[in-house]
Chain A
Amino acid sequence: MSTFWIILTACLAASACSLVGSFLVLRKQAMLGDAISHAVLPGIAIAFLLTASRNTFPMLIGAGAFGLLTVYLTEKLQLRGRLMNDASMGIVFTTLFAIGVIIITLFASQVDLDQECILYGEIAYVPWDLWIFNGMNMGPRPVWILGFVLMLNIIFIVSCYKELKIYAFDRQLAISMGVPVMLIHYGLMGSVSFSTIAAFESVGAILVVALIVVPPATAYLLTERLSRMLMLSVVFGILSSISGYYLALWTNSSIAGAIAVMTGVFFGLALFFSPLDGIFFRKYRGARKELNELSLESGKPVAEYPQV
């Protein structure tokens, strides 16, 4: 039974994260997931200190506030401080994370959180983190929280699908068509914050980043339709969760880490064997001298690659 709960938690986290992550990947803001998942730490720690309990609701509020604060500070620093987006993001989230770690260390006796569990979570303990409602055992608490956040995300995406789509692909067009871009932007950032926080508590910061970025990127390689990309990213998130769980069981290691590894494995497969644009097929077709009509990869500036 505990296996079921762990896998269900991972799958819910994966679905919630990859749905919003898809938009971050399309908006080229993937690192925002990383930033938010680190920066919410002081919020969680402060909520913990103030309420002296692991009550979820204050934690969600504290973390949500710091998530939005990260987005806000990053944008402010970029505009006022004349810094590049990545540099301002790097400053904001590392500082907030450091403050969070310091708070936790200072109040180690009161705060029952340790740094490693923040990084790679305690998904293995999920089955024992039960929600008792009116004396009735409702099953693990994280399952409920993640399920709720997933539902919120689905409602947000379905109700604003058209607006999100235009916003994701062409912000200027969205503005000119009268889409309330700021509303959509902060709505999306709010969803990212909530998904991050809900998932963070059970699966840890790094797995959150993996779930936000990798399954959507994998799906992005396999389709050119947003609706299919969303569905495929959820599918890959779930597949990674299940296979990651058994990988961890087999190697007797961290479940969250193993799930992150599996998302990477699926991405690698898609990168090489995607029928659309995979490296393997491109080589094969190149041999048949059909590359010209199939070079879909153009349209991306050549200079944009990470060197040091």
Chain B
Amino acid sequence: MEQLTKKQHLELYRYLRLTRALEDWIFYICANQNPQKPLIIGKGYLSTGQEATSIGAAYALEKEDWIAQSHRDFGALLIRGLTPRELLLQYFSKETGPTKGRDANVHLGHTGKHVLGFISHMGAMVPVANGVAFAMKYKKKKACILAFFGDGASSQGIVHEAMNYAAVFKLPVVFICNNNRWAISTPLEEQMAIKNVADRGASYGMPGVICDGNKVEEVYQTVLKAVRLAKKGGGPTLVECKTMRMSGHGTHDRAKYVSDQEIASWKKKDPIMHHEKLLKKLGYADEAYFKKIIAEVKSEVEEATQWAKNQADPSIQNQLEDVFARS
């Protein structure tokens, strides 16, 4: 098993903290902004409490790799090199943001940073990830793509099509199911008659593996193995990361349908708490270090907000541009 170095452990900690800080901030703005003159257009879709899945998985990638992210993958986007500034431009729907203010919140893509453009239809990007993977093979690149989706999206026919397809062509894609137990208000038990999404891997002829989605090092190690297999030409793997959505589907949803007991039991498994314990146990960091990182990421997010909110809003002058590529 791949052991993480101290530097990597600390870097993962910073990503966990930065993602949490950024999303807490988004939550705060959504809760407190003037609805008549909102800073954030639309709602926030947060990964709070399940950051380790996105971060651990994306950390297993190299520069030439790609991701097809889902709703709760700001951690992965930060690892791919999108900055808090860019992500806030997207939330504020600014002209200089990744979608030029034409789309907002988590519906973004960034080709230069190898991030596909997410859409709202659940599971829709999974077959698109196959296309990137196919092109990598076609161009003889030793690279792979992570296709993220949730337990809810796993019920979509297109996800089954895509997994079968990827297995048939042995595409270098790793399917990451962040099983956070809830599809908006529908619990897992009402979504599928099986316990593990990973069990479906066998039916496509690919390994299906399960890991604790709240342990960043475990997600990393599990995904890294799948990434290496994919890059060796061994085909896709379905990795199911067991986690819990600790917020509503969006910032408008107070998730009253989730019991207090369920929340309380998962709070004890908070991925940041877990990682702090691990860092202390390994002797890599102490409380003072954590405080320092918390302060750093907080000021990074605040600075990004101040900067992003002063950027230009989209103009109707350019509204008709780009429906088609000119050349």
Q: A and B, one complex?
A: no
